[in-house]
Amino acid sequence: IVDAICFGESMVVVAPDPPQPLCEGPPTRLGCAGAESNVAIYLAGMGLHVAWRGRLGTDPFADLITGTLNAAKVDTDLVETDPNAPTGVYFKDPQPTGTQVHYYRSNSAASHMGPGFMDCMPSCRLWHFTGITAALSNSARALATEIPKVSGASLTSFDVNYRPALWSPQAAQAVLRDIANRVDIAFVGLDEAHALWGTETPQQVRETLPGAGTLVVKDAANGATAFGPMGPIWAAAPTIDIVEPVGAGDAFAAGYLYGLLTDAGTKASLELGHLFARSALSVAGDIGPLPDPHDIAALAKPQ
């Protein structure tokens, strides 16, 4: 049985290396990006059987993505290719005020995902997807919206991942709230919840999303709260120097889900989330190295 299927859009990222504003024409490096495939890479690195499902073009970018995922031991057998649409691309633009992103993904192969895309999947313990899928196109939004209904016996994990460059809060607020209210595990940052729903506190976010089986509200450098059957559980975040924040949310979700899939308990799962996020925050790329195995083992021991 497959442990997790992560699905959504993966893209090629073009990132200045060393980090410098794009307008200066710096040397760049290409990499594989995508919130859901990032989660898959971490979980596969932990030895779980993880598949990534998405749609790619038939271009060299698609080969770069599948090559990267296969090298990370992520199963790509479920990937669909489309000869008539390109693989998406995004550029990172490091600015003194923070990293900006520029997407070239409209009409990408992944934007043609639609209802039925997750039919006939192998049996699997957990499906993980994000709100980015709901922002890609009308058909992808219909797919994201149907997931809680079609997931069968698989647990559903959903990271709200509001991307302001793709849609406005007005367009996103009801769609993302509706999905998050019907999944088993939902992740959301306090800042994005504020942008979407005007909430100020983790408790107010829970009042907005009472239907999520477990709701994890992340309050950046302070910590994260899981609202679930056991009541609210809080875990403080470690203090660290942030090199670049992109990808930290994916790392957090991966750490938490690793804890869930290994029966670590809610508090330890939150701490695993922080541990993985720390790793992503301490590198310029979207994905950090796996945390120290001793630190993981101290938290992931079954209860």
Contact assessment for residue 134 and residue 128, using Cβ atoms and an 8 Å cutoff: no
Rg (CA), the chain: 18
| Class of residue 118 by CB neighbours under 10 A (exposed 0-12, middle 13-18, buried 19+) | buried
Instruction: Return the amino acid letter for 140.
Output: A
Query: Which residue lies nearer to ligand KDG by CB, 167 or 262?
Result: 167
Site for ligand KDG in 228-247 (CB under 6 A): 246-247
For tokens 């490096």, the residue is 29
Please identify which residue in 12, 38, 172, 190 interacts with ligand KDG, judged by CB under 6 A. Answer: 38
Please identify which residue in 7, 16, 34, 186 interacts with ligand KDG, judged by CB under 6 A. Answer: 34
What is the total count of residues that contact ligand KDG (CB under 6 A)? 12
Site for ligand KDG in 240-279 (CB under 6 A): 246-247, 249-250
Question: Binding pattern to ligand KDG, positions 91-120, x when CB under 6 A?
Answer: ------------------------------
State the Cα–Cα distance between residues 235 and 229, nearest whole angstrom.
Answer: 17
Residues forming the active site: 250
Q: Does 163 engage in binding with ligand KDG (CB under 6 A)?
A: yes
Query: Which residue lies nearer to ligand KDG by CB, 59 or 211?
Result: 59
Query: Which residue lies nearer to ligand KDG by CB, 2 or 246?
Result: 246
DSSP alpha helix (H) spans, the chain: 35-45, 60-71, 131-136, 138-150, 169-180, 190-197, 202-208, 248-261, 266-281, 293-300
Residues near ligand KDG, by CB under 6 A: 33-35, 38, 90, 132, 163, 246-247, 249-250, 286
